[in-house]
Amino acid sequence: MNRPCPRPPGAARAGLSGRSARRAALRPRGFALIEALIALLIFTLGTLGLVGLQVSMTRANSSAKFRADAAALAQDLVGTMWTDAAHLSAYATASCPGHARCAAWQGRLQERLPGATYQITPDGSSGAVTISIRWTVPEEGSHVFDTSTAINLNPDT
């Protein structure tokens, strides 16, 4: 006794019979689940992209802040040298810790920049000064800010 397979609903209306009706009925099953999984995959990749972008922006913002701090600290030291031009040679790298104003600047430098080192080269005869500030950010490497200026040694002229 061979019993015919029952037709899926709507097979008779579509003009399908037997095997063709079964295939037509099986094809769309699970399609919504696949669509949902693909949508979830696309959403996950987008979210990971946004997280990566956020990390990159935070790193760039930190790097810009350190560069701005280095420039501000160098200009602060230049301003201090202008007000203390008579003791310009005391701002040399080797003499800096022994001169109160330069030592205070050195302390601010260490507070604001990670792993900061500096090189100050004043010329007592011409008033030319070169300041080089270096700092190291973990996972980013070393950075350098250099500036040169001239301090007027004869403020009366």
Question: pLDDT tens digits, the chain, 157 residues: what are they?
Answer: 566 655 555 555 555 566 666 666 556 677 888 999 999 999 999 999 999 999 989 888 888 999 999 999 999 999 999 999 888 999 999 999 999 999 999 999 999 999 999 999 999 888 899 999 999 988 888 999 999 999 987 766 5
Geometric angle at alpha carbon 145, from 139 and 149, rounded to 5°: 175
Total residue count of the chain as it appears in this document: 157
Query: What confidence score (pLDDT) does residue 141 get?
Result: 87
Which of 100, 101, 131 has the alpha carbon at shortest distance from 116?
Answer: 131
Cα gap 105→100, rounded to integer Å: 9
Query: What confidence score (pLDDT) does residue 14 get?
Result: 53
Give phi and psi for 156, each to the nearest 5.
-80, -20
| Those residues with Cβ within 8 angstroms of residue 115's Cβ, 6 or more apart along the chain or in another chain | 135, 136, 137
Geometric angle at alpha carbon 122, from 120 and 125, rounded to 5°: 175
DSSP-derived letter for residue 88 is: G
Residue 135 DSSP SS3: strand
Sheet holding 117-122, edge to edge: 117-122, 128-137, 141-150
Residue matched to tokens 């987008």: 46
Query: What confidence score (pLDDT) does residue 24 get?
Result: 60
The pairing of strands 117-122 and 128-137 is antiparallel
Entry pTM: 0.67
CB 66 within 8 A of CB 113: yes
Cα gap 114→105, rounded to integer Å: 15
Query: What confidence score (pLDDT) does residue 62 get?
Result: 86
